Amino acid sequence: MKVLITGIAGFIGSHVAEYLQDAGHEVIGIDNFSDYYPVDLKNKNAADLREKGIIVLEADLRETSSIAQLPNGIQYIFHFAAQPGIAATSTFEDYLTNNVIATQNLLNYALQQTSLQLFVNIGTSSIYGLNATFPETEAPKPASHYGVTKLAAEQLVLCSSRLNQFKACSLRLYSVYGSRERPDKLFTKLLDCGLNQKEFPLFEGSLSHLRSFTHVSDIVKGIVSVIGKEEICNGEIFNIGTEAEYTTQQGVDAVEKLLNTKIQFKHLPPRSGDQQRTKANIDKARKLLNYNPTVTLEEGVAEQLAWFKNL
């Protein structure tokens, strides 16, 4: 099967690319190598993928000239490319152009792919809002520019399904961690601070936040579980994550135990838009996709530590 992955040099996209290549699929990817976080990390991911025979194109989905570089004959599209997070350095235009305009451009390309079997949009639990504990039928209440624009992108994709242009679905991911996690994310930053005697920037109230910390290997299993289930998935939304719920404090504790050290905090004011609770309701994914995450927090953090030490 010929697969296109957007955002292929990023955290989750690179893992899915490797999985699909190892499974015997032909994988082609695109990434704009944004400097939202250090480009050398994306370059390393891309180099590892190219060594496996995966084609990685450097192009920007916001530009129609970049869309023209994409190959034809694509059977599956996994759309990861987005402006992530709720960083103060990101403008509304960053979210709008990367998450909405780029998605529409990709959909225009998808319309030309007569062999397309399924367009898989990669969404986020941030679509639900400050508390993400609901089934997929719950009305979204996003509380950040990130969540709002990811909801818009999701609806653009599902609109194509409703118009019978091609089959499409959306997967809302929950609190993903593991090897290749971005430097600004929780566990990579905790490991860096614990190993290198740095202060961890702690936003007021965040230690009590509840999260469905889900290891990237469990996320990959959920994402690829849609393959071969095009009719079942068409027009649907699925939550992908673990039902296990942890506080941020428990995440800190897991890292401190693994490193046998105490992490020092730099206390900061509360961050606007931060989710207070995420708990993946995966009843639908379990029933229709046979999805069952298994990696414990301790196992996942140990895997991420091994990766971090080899950076």
CA nearest 30: which of 184, 49, 223, 40? 49
> Annotated catalytic residue: which of 146, 177, 246, 291?
146
Question: Residue 76 in contact with residue 121, Cβ under 8 Å?
Answer: no
Judge whether 167 and 121 are in contact, CB under 8 Å.
Answer: no
Is-catalytic flag, 146?
A: yes
Cβ atoms of 179 and 220 closer than 8 Å: no
Alpha helix (H) residue ranges in the chain: 11-22, 39-51, 64-67, 92-95, 102-110, 145-162, 186-196, 216-224, 230-233, 248-259, 283-289, 297-309
Decide: 129 and 140 in contact? Cβ < 8 Å: yes
Contact assessment for residue 171 and residue 120, using Cβ atoms and an 8 Å cutoff: yes
Separation between Cα atoms, residue 239 and residue 51, nearest integer Å: 32
Kindly state the tokens that stand for 148: 């709002």
Catalytic residues: 146
